[in-house]
Structure 1
Amino acid sequence: MSARRRLNDGILAGVRLERRIDPYVRPLLDRAVLPPVQALVQWWVNARRRDEHLGLAEERTQPGERAVAEAIARQMAQFVEREYAPGQAQRAGNTKTYGVVHGEYTVHGGLPAHLRHGVFRHPATFRAWVRFAGPGPLAPPDLDDNGVLSIGVKLLGVDGRKLLDEEPHSQDFTGITTPTFTTPNVVENLRLQQHVYDGTPVLYFLGPRHPHLSDMVMQALYARTHSSPLLARYWSCTPCLLGPGQAVQYSLVPRDRSRGSVPWHPPDDYLRRALVTALRERDVLFDFLVQLQTDAHRMPVENASVVWPERLSPFVPVATLRLPRQEFDEKGQFALADRLSFNPWHALPEHRPLGNQNRARRTIYHQLSRLRQSMNGTPREDPDQYS
């Protein structure tokens, strides 16, 4: 094992130790440390950015961006092919499935005119599949890799032309439990994927030539020992359109604001068990919020390391996601997770993803989904048939 790999693994061992005590110190850290440290980090990030003088919802494609996206897809595909045998392939990101559950997504009535676009055009209720997952790129015991969780929401029965024709009746929304993405742009994302392949992801943040300390701190502020996927807040991290010339980010916030509890020696799949237990006992509600871009520089489209300031534009509730009480069929649900593909480009044109990270996702998600389903012999199927 190389010295770089040993250094990476030593740091991760310290992180895993911190996960044990995190539930006991996190409330204090969130109150006393998170707000001022985030403000300082964001000041530093913004002080180093130049104003690109873009308009609201305006994008700017970088030279060679498509080639970078293809390189990321190849790098992640090589990781999947190396780590997983045929029939056992998992996603290269958002890897460990905690559960796929059915739900209802209800668009509120009385929304202001500037928000009534796409699925928010009229009050309506859509059937939905919702996948809760861990970060990846592998699927170890939950306590070892639960700092950043993810959610994928697939609305069914959505009429209208889609940006990808592979799912003509779907609209997908995805999010993670941090307000910024791991990397600011696709060039840095490629560097991260190369580190992941080499087994040194921590050194992406600490490398002397290309350090990413601000991104590391932002991820650390929100990475925590989660007690349940149903008690976490999720952010889109990257924007999408909401009608012509208008960009938004979105967030899913649980109605239940309790923190839950984590056993001192939790089972390897304690997050799945928490999800199963909660949905066996009660309905679970999330508020779906959107944040309108009002300042093209302070709320950038092309830099995913910047938190859009809520003092410039607060989040506004536009819909409710209800997960009704249900019995969790483990075998069937995990088979469904293998067949479903969550992609922000499964979208109406009114919700087109924006920014270089999202433009790359169109290539990356599509190619990796095809690879995983080909390795497992689970061809893409119409998600409506499972409702």
Structure 2
Amino acid sequence: MLITLWLRLGAFLGKTLLWLLGIGLLGWALSTAWFAWQHKGPVPDKEQVAPGEAAMTQDIIQTAIRIVDQHRESTRYLRDAHAKAHGCVMAEVQVPSDLPAPLRQGVFAEPGKVWQATIRLSNGNAYPQFDSLRDARGMAIKLMNAPGKQLLADRQSQGEQDFVMFNHPNFFVSDVAEYRQNVAAQADGKKAMAFLPSLDPRSWQIRH
């Protein structure tokens, strides 16, 4: 009798696992198809500024300040992301000599030019943690003596240009609106809501 019970339980668990696997594959296929449909068509070659982007940017800044306050340790403040640096190094960044003409813009205008730079390497997490833990890895490059108007009004004499990157070919959100929604959910401690913001499946960011 005990053997029969075990066999039936094994059969039930096996069927359950097969059903779960089938549902998972179906969900993956549907989300892939939805993502492909949402992003079909040509990609614009110029930046698209969304309506209300300036206001959304201000919301993101206030959320970042709230996250920094949450991470504060007495009088010690941590960044809202990439809090732990592996190190900072002095470097030289050279523009490729065979750079195609359409890409020769700004600091890339002169093929072969060498820029002096500082590079910061970091973990992605907002809390310092062991490097052995899985995490995004960041690399921020600051070019020195770069021409052009500075973004910040009080740093016009600096002549710097920053490039912020991490070790994945795609960013984890598609636009400013998604970024605002994502960081707001994380600031509220609702990490699941960062990628599943509502009951409407069209708003889910499964692939993200």
Give 1:84 deviation, angstroms.
Answer: 0.7
Deviation sequence 1:236-255 (CA, Å, 0-9, x none): xxxxxxxxxxxxxxxxxxxx
Contact 2:88 2:121 in 1 (8 A): yes
Q: Quick one: which amino acid aligns to residue 91 of structure 2?
A: G
Counterpart for residue 105 of structure 1:
93
Deviation sequence 1:109-153 (CA, Å, 0-9, x none): 343333322222222212111001111222222334x32111100
Deviation sequence 1:160-183 (CA, Å, 0-9, x none): 433445153112111111222222
- Counterpart secondary structure, 1:143: coil
| Aligned length, in residue pairs | 175
Q: Distance in 2 between matches of 1:81 and 1:68?
A: 20
Give 1:80 deviation, angstroms.
Answer: 0.9
Deviation sequence 1:244-281 (CA, Å, 0-9, x none): xxxxxxxxxxxxxxxxxxxxxxxxxxxxxxxxxxxxxx
Q: Distance in 2 between matches of 1:58 and 1:100?
A: 30
- Counterpart secondary structure, 1:101: strand
Contact 1:204 1:211 in 2 (8 A): no
Instruction: List alignment gaps of at least 5 residues for structure 2.
Output: 1-29
Question: Normalising by the residue count of structure 1, what TM-score does the alignment of the two structures yield?
Answer: 0.40
Residue correspondence of structure 1 range 1-387 to structure 2 within 5 A:
44-49=34-39, 56-62=45-51, 64-85=52-73, 87-122=75-110, 123-144=112-133, 146-165=134-153, 166=155, 168-207=158-197, 209=199, 210-215=203-208
Q: Quick one: which amino acid aligns to residue 171 of structure 1?
A: Q
Contact 2:31 2:206 in 1 (8 A): no
Q: Distance in 1 between matches of 2:55 and 2:40?
A: 25
Q: Quick one: which amino acid aligns to residue 161 of structure 1?
A: K
Q: Distance in 1 between matches of 2:197 and 2:150?
A: 41
Q: Distance in 2 between matches of 1:137 and 1:47?
A: 34
- Counterpart secondary structure, 1:69: helix
Contact 2:125 2:135 in 1 (8 A): no
Give 1:154 deviation, angstroms.
Answer: 0.5
Instruction: List alignment gaps of at least 5 residues for structure 1.
Output: 1-39, 216-387
Go from structure 1 to structure 2 and tell me whether the alpha carbon gap of 1:142 and 1:162 turns closer, same or farther (over 3 Å shift): same
Q: Distance in 1 between matches of 2:197 and 2:139?
A: 30
Q: Quick one: which amino acid aligns to residue 184 of structure 2?
A: Q
Contact 1:134 1:150 in 2 (8 A): yes
Which is worse superposed, 64-73 or 159-168? 159-168
- Counterpart secondary structure, 1:138: coil
Go from structure 1 to structure 2 and tell me whether the alpha carbon gap of 1:97 and 1:113 turns closer, same or farther (over 3 Å shift): same
Question: Normalising by the residue count of structure 2, what TM-score does the alignment of the two structures yield?
Answer: 0.70
Alignment root-mean-square deviation, CA: 3.0
Deviation sequence 1:13-47 (CA, Å, 0-9, x none): xxxxxxxxxxxxxxxxxxxxxxxxxxx97664231
- Counterpart secondary structure, 1:66: helix
Query: Rg: which structure is higher?
Result: 2
Q: Distance in 1 between matches of 2:168 and 2:180?
A: 20
- Counterpart secondary structure, 1:154: strand
